[in-house]
Chain A
């Protein structure tokens, strides 16, 4: 049973005279009940537009979307009773205290903090010591936790989180994903968008989004398995010159910086030894080469190239 169904959504924005920006181009996917679904893509891929259409805030040019069986255009009132939404921008009242914010959102959703306290207990417990503090004075990570509490307080059936971890430190990000896993156990369908590729592996399934089009939708494992080519990681002293040099190499299909390494995608039937010889011949004697397994980012780059 699908919780969210998106079918052939097209959304365009008209920028300056006549030029039209294609924000979403025939997007279709389904999210099962209780699934943790990730929408992964760089800035400008169309993530926020997509989330706004699903949360009834925007109307698509064409195509349909439904949440829990309700159409986002016709039955928007019904959807608004059921879903929880956390926009990308920190959108709580900065001049209200933590407690006041939570109470406000609980009440406008016709519930109370007490009623659903068990759902947010784990998360709210961490910020409860600061409940008298104004929301504007919280740290970024605590703000996100409070925003999540406010989005959860009415026990939504579907939770939409638009870039919840953007601008949050690595520790808080990790904690945040832990919380999402806990929430998933409560049976809440969660849709989360993120520009961070490493977070993809934490989702049940992901949709890779680029320039308004879906590159691939699958479980993170399957997506990485589809990476058919041989991948090696290269490291040396002078990384920039190495990158320049590898781009000239005929054995190499693609090369890009990847953390402290460069990832090199080999053309078919080429071997790591050939690359080894190439880099040694070009003066990178101490270069360290090793086979690497593709992760989501590698797949994303590969999919983008093939598009």
Chain B
């Protein structure tokens, strides 16, 4: 036991004395959460729009005002004629132009029907659709107000409710994703590097020619990174709750338990990588290319897995992060309990046992 503790102590010295790596270890989660939270967002806000108002009456003034007052739109240009529309888009900033026809209010009141033209820059189709939807919603609101108490004979109204994320914040989606990514990076990459480093500097040779049991070396290497990762999880959760306003809907204990399970999965993966690589660069490349990318692509965090072709969907099943991402989403965002995720927890446990067994079996008690 004394052997184990001194080994863990030594690992902490390594981590602690490598200040730059330490900074990355603790800085990375914070920076990533901040970047995803504030900079890289797919929410549409403050899109620049132009308005071509050919009637300039009371109704168009109210509508224009409402649209430009919304946080989604930023009115930058009042166009004079339809020939300006093209020029406005070509400047590149304008995302949408709203065209009110002549005699807007008169037509609305007298013929009970009028059209508004929404022209959007569809070079980015998602943004265009979103903008059109937002604008239509504002226009519909106005129409409802005009109708007032008038009862139409038949009306079907849709009532939508955005469950779990009523404000449709991107943070609800990426916090679980960032958690999966950080844990994968810290645990897998750092442990594999830590072991391979001993091989590279030749200290492994001395460790091998000692009474230390392989399992002891492996565990002692893993424990510090387990602790570091728990700290990282806590800091991500604190940030998401207090800075990004993403609450933890489910049980915190369950969330921590599943996170620790995923950390152990990632650690075993790191150990496995270290057992068949000989240099720190190789270990890092394999961790980055072989794990980081799949985590990003196949966890469902960036791209919905349901939309992928079948072969890719099948591949996504072997990516541990996919299951963890699902678990975190269920527990943290939806507030579900163990009964909803036991299937995923079981899969992760299975993966961990498999990886750990293989890496201990593959741990070489000799050189080469």
Measured CB to CB, the residues of A under 8 A from B are 52, 55-59, 76-77, 80-81, 83, 85-87, 89-96, 100, 103-105, 107-110, 150-151
Contacts and interface: CB of A to CB of B under 8 A. Distances in A.
Contacts of B209: 55-57, 80, 83, 85
Contacts of A100: 10, 13
Interface string B272-289: 000000000000000000
A58 B368 contact: yes
Interface stretch (B89-97, B142-150, B198-206): B198-206
A92 B203 contact: yes
Contacts of B3: 107-108, 110
B207 interface: yes
Given A80-B209, A85-B206, A89-B202, A58 B10 contact: no
Contacts of A107: 2-3, 6
Interface in B7-52: 7, 10, 13-14, 17-18
Contacts, number: 78
Contacts of A95: 13-14, 17-18
Contacts of A87: 202, 205-206
Contacts of A56: 208-209, 366
Interface in B203-223: 203, 205-212
B367 A52 contact: yes
Interface residues of B, number: 24
A83 B3 CA distance: 18
25 contacts: A57-B205, A57-B208, A57-B366, A58-B367, A80-B208, A80-B209, A80-B211, A83-B209, A85-B205, A87-B206, A89-B205, A91-B201, A92-B203, A93-B14, A93-B203, A95-B13, A96-B14, A100-B10, A103-B6, A104-B10, A108-B211, A109-B210, A110-B2, A110-B3, A150-B206
B211 A110 contact: yes
B365 interface: yes
A235 B3 CA distance: 60
Give the interface SS of chain B, mostly helix, strand, loop or mixed. helix
Interface string B315-357: 0000000000000000000000000000000000000000000
Contacts of B17: 95
A80 B210 contact: yes
Nearest to A84: B209
Given A52-B367, A76-B365, A95-B17, A104 B6 contact: yes
Given A89-B202, A91-B205, A103-B6, A108 B212 contact: yes
A295 B366 CA distance: 38
Contacts of B205: 57, 85, 87, 89, 91
Nearest to B14: A95
A19 B337 CA distance: 62
B7 A91 contact: no
Closest 10 CB pairs of A and B: A91-B202, A89-B202, A107-B6, A85-B209, A57-B367, A87-B205, A95-B17, A81-B211, A91-B203, A108-B3
Contact of B206 (A58, A91, A110): A91
Contacts of A52: 367
Contacts of A76: 365-366
B162 to A, nearest CB: 52
Nearest to B3: A108
